[in-house]
Chains A and B, each alone.
Chain A
């Protein structure tokens, strides 16, 4: 085990705020009476429903099949009856076609759910097939279909698989508890991932504010010669893909490229654990660990929640809300998505439900930029957020592109440190999207 702390250049140190839940063991949430399962929970093409209203479905049954290569099927997380297939609010924003299932409370398991055998006996293609059929997506939040990640074009030589256990988002402890309580699933998942792309080097990278998780995973991986546990310096955004690759391998993903361009595939520890678990039991991805925390919730917890459970249901199981709620966020405070309703469901990428009181939001009017350069020093990519924001406000797309706006990973470090409270990343995001749209248009023309 390597104990020299690895890290990247730039970054910020937001208060961790993990104390409320880091010591709380995983608990299974009560099974919901009704689940809302969106047909799109991943990056890529949405699924087409394979059931219709009135159908009986079983736990683990496939209910949606992706229409394209980049996609992942969705499964029922309860047994019961399909009430409707209709548009419902989605935690990622907007309305998404979803399968609404009323549970019969029996959890009758689908006949297709059976153990997949021993990892050592599985071929690479078989493992990729399991990834696909289980509906695995990146569980850190981005929700990129896992099987697609492990199917790089033949000219990309992959030599390293990294598991991301940094959990650099403040407040969240779902990965922490997972690594502490289910380290074998994590290690088994990594082994299977390495086998699926025939790679002999695996890293599990964890921030050093979780010494117990580092120890637990290191013990589970003790007999694995090819797997190394790496302790990372605690700094945001240590768990961002590019920063993680730099810290673990010293390599940089070329601007505009993907991790595979530097020979690396990165996955969240949760994704690996889900793979390890599904190989063992055959159960597809129908539940996940969610940290429910923040100043606005009565009893913060780490719950194992069925996919499709409405936020309102989960919040109620945590004792309900405090007064003066400011925001309800899916994910962490740095990159999570603020919700306008609690009728959205927990999906595959829901690592946390963060509820903040109004006074925690730090809402204050923006002041003129005093060019203090804190954003420039904090940017983990080496951009000049203050410049980019200026270009964005004036709609100067060409200049923004020249200053590499498209390389922004939207980690929010710049907005976090800004003493003038300017919405830097918020504005950069807009001009970045404009530049990408313009490029796409130019390509089509």
Chain B
């Protein structure tokens, strides 16, 4: 009987099997159907954009951590997600070098500059996209139609500029003009359901985000179904507004976040200069995350009024 090397640390002495890597892997799995659909609709260009975006994001993360003499943590999978998410928000007509610039910006000024995973206030993929929107505005708003490959506007753009609506079925399946991943509502919802089933995301943000957009557009006399299915709402609601690091940790806070982002989307889409508002609705709500958490603390057991 050897009592040689007993570990003496404080309780608890067992841990759940859940890991950060597993969470990240689940998010990647959930994004795969929509990514595959983008390749199906837009062809090898979509695949190239995705690969360049992921590779650039991972390389940027590793390089910055090397330069800063920090442990290289690209195997946690978070940079892969950033690359994947960024690609899904881009036009299939985007030049590949611009994609790489966007991915480096996402990791560099969206994440590593704050200290890396867990410390960034904004969703890195959206920071990357915002960077590209202001840097290459023309390329970021040139869309192609998946059926004939001809330059065309997105459904939201069509509605805003020309007043023409796109059919629900096309929107739901995804063979419409738009970014790689924001086109197929069906596959994005599928991925979102997988994350809900795996307990990775909380239902509150997507439900209140999407619900607010639906109710508000209906109240304002718009077609709510069109607004739910068009644009990046599903991608944003299931994969970006649920980003753990940049959204509230309290349950009430998640509801507040969802409603706030929903209101912003509708305001931007209907009254703003851009046809789509998902990007800025989430980035803006990210800024409120700390304060939302502060004022939505759960009621504690046996709370005594002071």
Contacts and interface: CB of A to CB of B under 8 A. Distances in A.
Interface stretch (A191-199, A202-210, A418-426): A418-426
Given A412-B11, A415-B15, A370 B6 contact: no
Contacts of B137: none
Interface string A217-242: 00000000000000000000000001
B18 A333 contact: no
Contacts of A403: 297
Given A380-B301, A381-B300, A371 B118 contact: yes
Contacts of A373: 202, 244, 248-250
Given A370-B245, A372-B23, A407 B302 contact: yes
Interface in A283-336: 315-316, 320-321, 323, 325-329, 333-336
Most buried by B among A354, A380, A383, A384: A384
A360 B17 CA distance: 11
Interface stretch (A121-129, A248-256, A437-445): A248-256
Most buried by A among B7, B13, B78: B13
B69 interface: no
A320 B2 CA distance: 10
Contact of B6 (A320, A340, A412): A340
A201 to B, nearest CB: 21
A346 to B, nearest CB: 17
B77 to A, nearest CB: 11
Contacts of A257: 302, 304
A151 interface: no
B112 to A, nearest CB: 12
A412 B1 CA distance: 31
A402 B303 CA distance: 13
A310 B35 CA distance: 62
Interface in B31-72: none
A278 B247 CA distance: 57
Contact of B10 (A342, A417, A429): A429
A378 B15 CA distance: 14
B14 A425 contact: no
B116 interface: yes
A369 B14 contact: no
Most buried by B among A246, A252, A338, A368: A368
B302 A255 contact: yes
A416 B15 CA distance: 5
A268 interface: no
Contacts, number: 172
Given A325-B2, A326-B7, A376 B301 contact: no
B117 interface: yes
B18 A339 contact: no
A43 B73 CA distance: 46
A351 to B, nearest CB: 14
Interface string A370-403: 1111101101111110110000000000000001
Interface of B is mostly: loop
Contact of B300 (A329, A383, A421): A383
Interface string B265-298: 0000000000000000000000000000100011
A86 interface: no
A371 B13 contact: no
Interface residues of A, number: 73
Interface in A345-365: 354, 356, 358, 360-364
B302 A14 contact: no
A419 B300 contact: no
Nearest to B294: A387
A45 interface: no
A321 to B, nearest CB: 5
A342 to B, nearest CB: 6
A40 B118 CA distance: 45
Given A252-B302, A362-B14, A425-B10, 18 more contacts: A242-B301, A329-B13, A336-B13, A338-B7, A341-B6, A342-B3, A358-B7, A361-B7, A367-B20, A367-B76, A368-B118, A371-B118, A371-B245, A382-B298, A407-B301, A418-B15, A419-B23, A420-B118
18 contacts: A316-B1, A325-B6, A333-B12, A338-B6, A338-B13, A370-B23, A370-B78, A371-B247, A372-B23, A384-B249, A387-B249, A407-B300, A410-B11, A412-B11, A416-B15, A417-B18, A421-B19, A425-B10
Interface of B: 1-3, 6-20, 22-23, 73, 76, 78, 116-119, 202, 244-245, 247-251, 293, 297-304
Interface of A: 12, 14, 170, 242, 246, 252-257, 315-316, 320-321, 323, 325-329, 333-342, 354, 356, 358, 360-364, 367-374, 376-377, 379-384, 386-387, 403-404, 407, 410, 412, 415-421, 423, 425-426, 429
Q: Rank and list the top 7 A-B pairs by shortest CB-CB distance, nearest first.
A: A362-B15, A412-B12, A368-B118, A373-B249, A382-B298, A382-B300, A252-B302
